[in-house]
Amino acid sequence: MSRTAFPHADSGVARIAARFAANAAAGRKAVAPFVTAGDPDTATTADVLAAIDRAGATLIELGVPYSDPIADGAVIQASYVRALAQGMSLDRLFAMVKDVTGRITTPVLAMVSYSIIYRRGIDRFVTESLAAGLAGFVVPDLPIEESDDLAAACEAAGLALVRLVTPTTPPERAEQIARRSTGFLYCVSVAGVTGARTSLPDGLVERVAWLRTKASVPILVGFGISTPEQARAVAAVADGVIVGSALVRRLAEAAPPQRADSASPPGQVVAAIEQHVQDLVKAVETSAK
């Protein structure tokens, strides 16, 4: 793949920036739901992505199932197991995303382990992601010191490479990460793994305020946010929220064929997810006014 930068207005980076600009114009903050590709099956994932789009989300994070996730808690780990058991693969994921991104306007970013990218080959992975219509990547296990090759490939393709800052990231390193993140900066609210929590951590407001002085992109907060009330509180100080485990837990209720008599129908679960995202969007609209 050529490493000549793409200035196109429809690049992933540009599409993400346009969504944040639209939010600012409308006086609202961002909601970025996370769901796992292939959980409980590919068709349901496609329906969920369309539902999240209808609900008014700013962005969508699509988890690429991985057998050894690092930062994910029990709920998302279990979703990866279910997706892999159903035969989810990169080829299936790219085909599904290509179909869905042709029908929705919400940019989709892949939450993906660097080991998956590396095994596929950086240029091939980026090229296939671009062809599928992805807007960028969140790569939680890629140290900034080892990210130059992927960053260069993303820049050439116009795709975002979102970086993560955690509560334990030293200030000097956090500043470097903030300055190099594209699309947005992912501020992890708590140390540990993903999962819904009942309260927000101390020091988050101050940390987001400090990161604002270092980053040139919007700051979204994730890990532990599940309710509209929590989303409203975080959106009062950040540019938006990332919500994952609360939605993935609902998807666990969707019935695969062998459990049709003991679980909720997928259509019912998709409708519940759409309503939950709508509630989150309304909550952050309130916080922005």
Containing H/E element for 49?
helix 42-55
Tell me if 141 sits within 8 A of 171, measured CB to CB.
no
pLDDT in the model for residue 6 = 45
Across the range 248-257, mean pLDDT stands at: 73
Question: Quick check: bond before 143 cis, omega within 30?
Answer: no
Torsion of CA 47, 70, 257, 48, to 10 degrees: -10
pLDDT-above-90 percentage for the chain: 65
Range with lowest mean pLDDT among 155-159, 189-193, 229-233:
189-193
Whole-prediction pTM: 0.89
Is the per-residue pLDDT at 205 higher than 80? yes
Mean pLDDT for the chain?
87
Tell me if 80 sits within 8 A of 65, measured CB to CB.
yes
pLDDT in the model for residue 194 = 44
Q: Which runs of consecutive H residues, i.e. helices, occur in 102-225?
A: 114-120, 122-132, 148-157, 171-180, 204-212
From CA 3, how far away is CA 1, in angstroms rounded? Answer: 6
Q: Look at 218 and 246; give whichever has higher pLDDT.
A: 218
DSSP code for 192: S
Q: Look at 233 and 71; give whichever has higher pLDDT.
A: 233
| Catalytic residue annotation | 61, 72
Is the per-residue pLDDT at 128 higher than 50? yes
Range 12-288: architecture per CATH: Alpha-Beta Barrel (3.20)
pLDDT tens, position by position, 64-79: 998 765 555 678 888 8
Across the range 212-216, mean pLDDT stands at: 93
Helix axes 148-157, 122-132, angle to 10 degrees: 30
